[in-house]
Chains A and B, each alone.
Chain A
Amino acid sequence: MLTYLVRRLLLMIPTLLGITIVVFAVMALSPGGVGAQLATETMDMKPQERQAIMDYYNKRYGLDQPAPVQYLRWLNNVSPIGFTVNNDGSLGTFSFTKGMDLGDSFHYGRPVSDILAERIPITLLLNVITIPLIYVLAIAIGVKAATDRGGRFDVGSSVIMLALWAIPTMLAGVLLLGFFANVQQWHWFPTAGIGSRAAQDMPFMPHWGSLWDVGLLFLGVILGTGLAVWLSRWDEVKKRALVSGGVGALIGLWMAAAHAEHVWFNWIALPVLGAAIGYGLGKMPSFAWRVATLGIIGTGMGIVLATQLMGPGFVRGFLFDRIWHLVLPIICLSYGGFAALAKLTRTSLLENLSSDYARTARAKGLSDKDVLWKHVFRNSLLPLITVTAGLLPSLLSGSLIVENIFSINGMGQLAVEAVKSRDREMVLSITWISGFLTLVGYLIADLLYTLVDPRVSYD
């Protein structure tokens, strides 16, 4: 196992080198070369100043030297083992503990490592929250669809998943931002960033004006959830469905009322939509699902009601502020991956449910539920793990768009700016870091695979 790890790590190096060479080649081959941005930015300066700056950069980065030499210099800077570089640009002694120098950004004028240190955590935050969310939801829906094979949930969810997967991230982001974060529509969510300025000064936890408000909140939650659970426990399907349909219509009406303008379309369409969804949810045969979905809606409604009635003095707190800002971006980032994974889970489960070992388990006398959870489930997870490897690059790409739409200052946004301003150091560093993260993702996926599947051993 150790040899396998070492081998994989060693194999990463040529790939990383390859990535950086490709990107460097693109920059070098492009019309204008690497120093083009520099030339345009210094256009307005006096000739002597301009010359001084060009000289400084040339010395520092060797911009006046041919491309392959520039690449080697950069490689030398980045690698922790190599030649130290003196201030005037000449090479010093060879050292094993030189440390990594990612260079300075042309565009920002600050060291790249500082900028990255600020931005990477934000992108990681988005992705780290998204990944488990995707998996949990996908497995839940996939399992339900597989056990309901051919039924309405299955067919319906398959179509919805396919449609969701096809919605481009930017469209979803724009729609979410436009409808839910806009003063003209429902201004429920903030328009930009991951935290409001005021939140920096807020205490971490939320803080209510008075004890009565806290009590009100609890009351709201208990009432909402309790009513929802009580409703889902009704046995008469039709009555239950009608009542939840009615509640849905009410919610729709309230949403139409909360809209900034009075659009007649909203007043008709939203209650109808709410009624339909409510009816559908109420009719679901699976008790667990009913409680879950109706319960969440009930809790949400309870909280909303409580907040409407609360007095002033509510301080959001850093934690909630952050969460509030993250809701829309995370929805945007996760729906695509979740749709794809849900389909994959369903396919994998169906295939395993009709396998020979499942038949053996049934022949032993196990109930369908036990066959599913004790035998089939773990085997079905295997393709999901394989897919994880490919999930990371697509999430990074998604981050690019999401951060752009929601004006979040993460690594994705940084990448777009760096490329637009032809900031050489920044582009190279982002490239190899994202490549590195991807390769690490592959490695983790392979290692996870060995944990789950005893047939696989790496020698």
Chain B
Amino acid sequence: MTNKAQLSKAQVSRESFGRMIWKRTLGGVGVKLALTWVGILVIAAVFAPFLANSMPLIMSKDGEVSMPVLRYLDTEDAAVLAAFVTLIGLWLLPMHLKLRSWLMWIVGVTAAVAVLASLMLKPPQLIIYDDFRTAAYTEVDWRLMPPIPYAPTDYLRDQRALPLQAPSIQHWLGTEENGGDVLSRMIHASRIALSIGIVATSIAMVIGVIIGGFMGYFSGLVDMIGMRLVEVFESIPTLFLLLTFVAFFGRSLYMMMIIIGVTSWSGYARYIRAEFLKLRKQDYVQAAVASGLPLRSILFRHMLPNGVAPLLVAMSFGVAAAILAEATLSFLGLGLVDAPSWGQMLNQAVKSATFNWWMAVFPGGAIFMTVFAYTLIGEAFRDAIDPTLARATGVN
């Protein structure tokens, strides 16, 4: 009698359900392109301080080698880098861990690094970017500048650069209304966009799963109250609700994430409720009940993993919607105050009498590509799981 340990990895879980779905999803060309774009965004988001900054990456002055960039990294940069490195590390290592372990590792390492970084790293609050163009940094033996030698909030005051310039050799995608470089701001904005997308969607999903799960499992009065709640959040045009929240609660990054999450959970609740109702009737769930398995196992081992599939599809669309929501808010002037944002740059395209096309095409194009990419991924996922699902979910 062979047991699991004796069978080689190739034999066990030859074709687990999850793997089969994953393979089918990655079939199409469109999906591969979409994942490439998302990959580019992730790289841009993670390595932003190294890709677009006003200070040299590494320089040697009078024989002394220093890395000025490092001095200006802050907690957020460190945490993001740590998360990325952990992710890549886990992926490359030959260990075969479950999803839960992955998440725990990533969250754990990121949190640890964040705490360490907040203690150790102390970037100066006020940075005068013009200094980096003075002799102290330019007359050196050699130096290596980031590919885009402008920080996002570097308004180039010393160069008396005219704001709102069309693309040129110095500024590949042009400048925006304060004089900052568009490409640099776009790269840094990708971090905001991605983080808001992922965190807000996660919040919405957690809320939706909990409420929807209760509704689906307990029915009766709980279901009725839950449905009214879902209807309330569905009936208000999302944008309007967002506006109200944002206008009254302020515009910090974390606030935005929470707000976008709290306003978009209703779709997930509906999905989970429908799935639970369907799953309760499935024979294998009935068999589990008939075998006297504990409630915990029935819910988390038998029902939830099988109900999760449409949720993942919805999540992909949800990230696209969250990114779009943030961009829209920025566009309407209600976005983040300080940080660069694609939506805010798009707004500058038509503000003045002239049409600044580079402000529309490039940031707008980035928004479009991101939404398109996530939509493609979501659709591919949905087709892989269940071609009939496309009909059921209709438009979205």
Contacts and interface: CB of A to CB of B under 8 A. Distances in A.
Contact of A168 (B232, B248, B371): B371
Interface in A165-197: 165-168, 170-171, 174-175, 177-179, 182-185
B367 interface: yes
Contact of B350 (A15, A177, A416): A177
A383 B368 contact: no
Interface string A126-163: 00000000000000000000000000000000000011
Given A19-B232, A393-B234, A416-B332, A171 B360 contact: yes
Interface stretch (A91-99, A226-234, A434-442): A434-442
B105 interface: no
A127 B206 CA distance: 34
Interface in B239-279: 239-241, 243-245, 247-250
A174 B235 contact: no
A419 B240 CA distance: 9
Contact of B355 (A31, A184, A341, A347): A184
Interface stretch (A20-28, A59-67, A299-307): A20-28
B231 interface: yes
A435 B368 contact: no
A344 B368 contact: no
Contacts of A404: 332
A26 B248 CA distance: 7
Contacts of B396: 340
Contacts of B232: 15, 18-19, 22
Contacts of A29: 248
Contacts of A330: none
Given A27-B244, A162-B376, A439-B235, A170 B250 contact: no
Contact of A23 (B244, B324, B395): B244
B249 A30 contact: yes
A166 B240 contact: no
Contacts of B320: 166
B72 interface: no
A179 B247 CA distance: 32
A174 B360 contact: yes
Given A174-B364, A178-B360, A401-B328, A15 B231 contact: yes
A185 B394 contact: no
A386 interface: yes
Interface string B355-383: 10100110011011001100110010000
B236 A19 contact: yes
B238 interface: yes
B387 to A, nearest CB: 10
Nearest to B234: A393
B173 to A, nearest CB: 16
A430 B244 CA distance: 11
Contacts of A179: 355, 357
Contacts of B349: 174, 178
Interface in B323-351: 324, 327-328, 331-334, 343, 346, 349-350
Nearest to B359: A174
B354 interface: yes
A256 interface: no
Given A19-B235, A162-B375, A174 B346 contact: yes
B228 A14 contact: yes
A393 B327 contact: no
A185 B324 CA distance: 28
B394 A344 contact: yes
A400 B394 contact: no
Contacts of A170: 327-328, 331, 343, 346, 364
A184 B354 contact: yes
A351 B391 contact: yes
Contact of A419 (B229, B243, B331): B243
A340 B331 CA distance: 24
B223 to A, nearest CB: 14
Nearest to A415: B240
B65 interface: no
Contact of A386 (B231, B239, B241, B394): B394
A175 B360 contact: yes
Contacts of A175: 360-361, 364
B41 to A, nearest CB: 15
A431 interface: yes
Nearest to A15: B231
The list of the 8 closest CB pairs from A to B, nearest first, reads A30-B248, A18-B232, A171-B364, A178-B355, A166-B372, A397-B239, A419-B247, A396-B237
Interface of B: 228-229, 231-241, 243-245, 247-250, 320, 324, 327-328, 331-334, 343, 346, 349-350, 353-355, 357, 360-361, 364-365, 367-368, 371-372, 375-376, 379, 390-391, 394-396
Given A415-B243, A422-B248, 7 more contacts: A29-B248, A162-B372, A166-B371, A183-B353, A383-B394, A415-B240, A431-B236
